[in-house]
Every structure is written in C-alpha cells, then in structure tokens.
Chain A
Amino acid sequence: MPEPTAQRATNAIEIKGLNKWFGPFQALKDVDLTVAHGERIVVCGPSGSGKSTLIRCVNSLEAHDSGTITVDGTRMGNAASIEAIRAEVGMVFQQFNLFPHLTILENLTLGPMKARGLSRAEAEARAMKYLERVRIPEQADKKSGALSGGQQQRVAIARSLCMEPRIMLFDEPTSALDPEMIAEVLDVIVDLATSGMTMIVVTHEMGFARRAADRMVFMDHGAIVETGTPQEFFEAPKTERCRTFLNQILRH
C-alpha cells in the first residue's frame, strides 16, 4: 500500500470524459477512470476495444480529442505538463522497443544521463541495480539482438525503472513472447506490483490478473463496460459482453 504524503495528489491518475478519434473512427468514448496511488489495474477486452489507446493517452503518446487527464495532480495540456507527466510515468511496449544499436547498459543509462543529467557512474550504478532486479545483470554489455524475447522485455522494464517513475504502464507486455518466456516477464511485473508501484497493465493473461490486480477494467468498442475486483469480475461478470469475452478467452 502506498504511503500518502501531504503534497501528493489524492489519486495517481484521473481520467474524465476522455474521447479519441482516429479519423472517423471513435477509439475512446467518454472514458472515466480513477487510479489510486499503489493501485494495480488490469485492462482487458477484445482487440480494437481501445485498451492500448487508453494507456497511450495517459503519457500522451496519443493526443486525446476531449476530456481531461490528470496524473499525480498535473493536468495534461501544454508541452511542459506533458514533460512533467512523462517523468512520472514509465511504459513497457508489446514490441519491447529496445534501442538495437546500443548495449543493454547504454539502453538503460541513456535516459538518466540525457534527460536527468546523471553522471555516467551514477547512471551505470542505477542501471545495474535494476538489471539485478529483473535478474539479468550478466547481459549488460550485449546488444539487444543477442537476447531472447523474455530477456529483452525484462531489459525494457528495467529501462523504464531507471527513470524511477511512480506509475508504470504495460501495453500487452507478453503478447509478442514465446509461451515459455511469458512467466519470467510476468514474475518481474508481479514483483513490481507487490512493491507498491501504481500500474495499469493491458493484458490477456488472466492468471496474472487474478494474482496481481486490485481491479479489473473491461473495455469494448472504446468504452469501459465493467470494472470490479478480480473476484467479482471472474466469478460473476455483470454484463453479457463481459461474460462472452471471458468465455472465449478462458475456454482453452
């Protein structure tokens, strides 16, 4: 559980009336979502339901068309506010997006050195700390191409952690992985979750959701259809659409 401090905003993330269009296609419809400090949210739903778009709006990788996003008290608007929000929010992508021309260590030190002004020694110490945390310090001098998918995703998580964010967003972190590598990545995310990090995870891994989520969010056609604790959500889904979805993905 998070330690509430006086100067911190009440909620980590507040999203109100969020709308987003891609041309004529409405990707998000009046989305409201409040995430408390330390809360772990798992977002699921059929593909094209707006899950990824929603979390990409939170750190402004996508610009929204109407509604408000407030992250840790900072209301998203001008470039300065976006910069401030990105400093608080780490993100892990489906395709890892490591920088292939740099070594693992350089991937991790680039942000701290260039964006935060840390010295090389400080940045490298921090990088090694987080590489240990994701359990691959021995790969520091390799390039990302030499690593397995699971290792690459763990490096990507460590790269985000090096910026010491308060909130982490995971955009289908295991969808591009071979099945035998999913566990090693989920273990790292669960470990992070138990340390009190605020996180929103878009995933189809329902076992992980049961283990780690405080709250489930089910989206369909750009809207939040249902939210609830994992127990409510899996045992007694309230809507027909949610039941159908769960039947489809839990059947096998």
Chain B
Amino acid sequence: MSTRLFLTLACLTLLAGCGNSGVWGWYVIDPTTPTGMSNIRFLLNGFGATIVLSLTAAALSMTLGLMVALPGMSTNRWIRMPSRIYIEFIRAIPLLPMLFWVFYGLPVVLQSMGITLRIDAFWGAVITLAISDSAFTAEIYRSGIQSIARGQTEAAKTIGLTYSQTMRYVILPQAIRRILPPLANQFIYIVKMSAFASVIGMQELTRRANELVVTEYRPLEIYTLLILEYLVLVLIISFFVRWLERKMGADESR
C-alpha cells in the first residue's frame, strides 16, 4: 500500500518536470541534442570505474573476511583475540575518515618506515572499502559457519580429516548457501559506498555527476540520473544473486 503511494508520488514528481513549470530542466541530459548526448556519455562513462572498484574491493573483502573469521572461531582465546579486536576496531571506523586516513595518511606512515608508495585514488578506495567491509563479511562467515551443526565437524574428525580439509570439503560447501544472501547484501553496500571514492578524485559515477553539476548547474536532473544509475547496478546484482541462489538450491535438492 505505502509502496504504491510512494511510487505514485515519485512518478508525479518526475512527470512534473515534463511540463513548463521551470522546476526541471531535462535538456541537460536530453539525448536528442548533441550537448545532452555528450553529457549522458560523460556520466555513463563512470560505470566502468564504479564496477571495477566495487568488484575488486568485494573480492578482497571476501578473502580478508574469511581470513579474519576462521581464527575468530578458534577454541584457543589467543588465536581468537586478534580476530575479535580487528572486527571491533574496523567496524567502529566510519568509512569517510578511514578513506582520508588511507589516502592522505597511510603513504606518510609507509614513508616513515622507509617504503615509498604512492597510493592513487583507485587503490586508496579499494583498500578502504575492502578493509572496512571485511569486518562485516567476517561476521557473516562466522554466523554461516557456526550455523552448521557441530556434528558435521565431529564426523569429519572421526574420519581423519584435518581442519582445512573439514572446512573445504564439509563445512564451507554447506555454509556457502547460508552465507550467500548476506554476502550479496554486503556487495550492494560496497557498490553504494564506492561513491565516497569521488571525494579523493576517482572518476566514478558520483565524481562525474559532481563535475557535470559544477559546469551545468542542473543538480536535480543530474543527481536523479545518478541515483537511477546506482539503481540499475544494484538491480542487476540482485537479479544475478537470485539466479545463483536458485541454481545452488536446485543442485542441493537433487
């Protein structure tokens, strides 16, 4: 009910711009004019960077998250503790300050240790997103793995499997189907948070929209298109994940 009301209002708001009320000025991204077309091209060209940035950060975050999650489930508290501290600490840092710290601060720290490394906007954003997100993926892995009954690990022990064999052949294949939906959620979150990369100058979707707004003075239309760009990205991801879940679910009930 409220969804329909919201959609109606949203459509009315957009349609309002089609009249001559003067509130909306769609000419700025009108594909029938050369300027509009080149503006659209400029904006859409950010897709590549946003996608590559999100995918790289997500892949790193998922790997890092697993590396943090596994020792976090040890029965030995000295193995468990660093993992817990990492999660609590990283989870507490807001993304934007962390991005500034990595981009402006980390090279200075490295310099003082005798390492000269220039971190460009892309890698600054990748590192920040991956580390920040890994605290959350680690918790997703942990809850997924711990949801697999203890009897599975015990049975694996009695047939002589090592810890890593047990994880690889028994636990993770079962946990993955429970981990996948929240992990997909986290990926969507990364795609959206990648917008922060714009503030350190990375030419992704949001940065391009900002730059166009400065020259065209039509924030309403340009940011509306920007939001739609993210919406399309996220819907594609959702669709893909649904498909993946169905595929795995079908395989399970064989």
B contacts with A: majority SS:
helix
A89 near B158: Cβ-Cβ < 8 Å: yes
Taken together as a complex, chains A and B put the C-alpha atoms of A59 and B157 apart, in Å, by: 9
Q: Which of A83, A99, A100, A156 contacts B160 (CB 8 A)?
A: A83
Binds A, one of B1-9, B24-32, B168-176: B168-176
Q: Which of A90, A100, A114, A116 contacts B158 (CB 8 A)?
A: A90
Q: Which of A90, A101, A114 contacts B161 (CB 8 A)?
A: A114
Chain A residues, Cβ within 8 Å of B173? 101
B170 near A99: Cβ-Cβ < 8 Å: yes
Query: What is the 8 Å Cβ interface bit string for chain A, positions 78-105, against chain B (1 contact, 0 not)?
Result: 0000010011011101010111110000
Min Cβ gap B224→A in Å is: 46
B157 near A86: Cβ-Cβ < 8 Å: yes
A111 near B252: Cβ-Cβ < 8 Å: no
Taken together as a complex, chains A and B put the C-alpha atoms of A160 and B157 apart, in Å, by: 11
Q: Is B165 an interface residue (CB 8 A)?
A: yes
B159 near A97: Cβ-Cβ < 8 Å: no
B161 near A97: Cβ-Cβ < 8 Å: no
B169 near A114: Cβ-Cβ < 8 Å: yes
Binds A, one of B33-41, B81-89, B148-156, B200-208: B148-156
Taken together as a complex, chains A and B put the C-alpha atoms of A159 and B165 apart, in Å, by: 17
A97 near B174: Cβ-Cβ < 8 Å: no
B160 near A111: Cβ-Cβ < 8 Å: yes
A115 near B165: Cβ-Cβ < 8 Å: yes
Chain B residues, Cβ within 8 Å of A99? 152, 155-156, 170, 174
Q: Is A110 an interface residue (CB 8 A)?
A: yes
Q: Is A163 an interface residue (CB 8 A)?
A: yes
Chain B residues, Cβ within 8 Å of A156? 155
Taken together as a complex, chains A and B put the C-alpha atoms of A61 and B174 apart, in Å, by: 22
B155 near A114: Cβ-Cβ < 8 Å: no
A86 near B160: Cβ-Cβ < 8 Å: yes
Taken together as a complex, chains A and B put the C-alpha atoms of A51 and B112 apart, in Å, by: 62
Min Cβ gap A109→B in Å is: 10
Q: Is B254 an interface residue (CB 8 A)?
A: yes
B157 near A93: Cβ-Cβ < 8 Å: no
Taken together as a complex, chains A and B put the C-alpha atoms of A162 and B160 apart, in Å, by: 11
B159 near A159: Cβ-Cβ < 8 Å: yes
A99-B170, A101-B252, A143-B254 known; A111 and B159 CB under 8 Å?
yes
A91 near B158: Cβ-Cβ < 8 Å: yes
Min Cβ gap B30→A in Å is: 54
Residue of A nearest to B154 (CB): A61
Taken together as a complex, chains A and B put the C-alpha atoms of A86 and B169 apart, in Å, by: 19
B174 near A59: Cβ-Cβ < 8 Å: no
A114-B165, A114-B169, A115-B165 known; A97 and B152 CB under 8 Å?
yes
Chain A residues, Cβ within 8 Å of B161? 110-111, 114-115
A residues with a Cβ closer than 8 A to B are: 59, 61, 83, 86-87, 89-91, 93, 95, 97-101, 110-111, 114-116, 143, 156, 159-160, 162-163
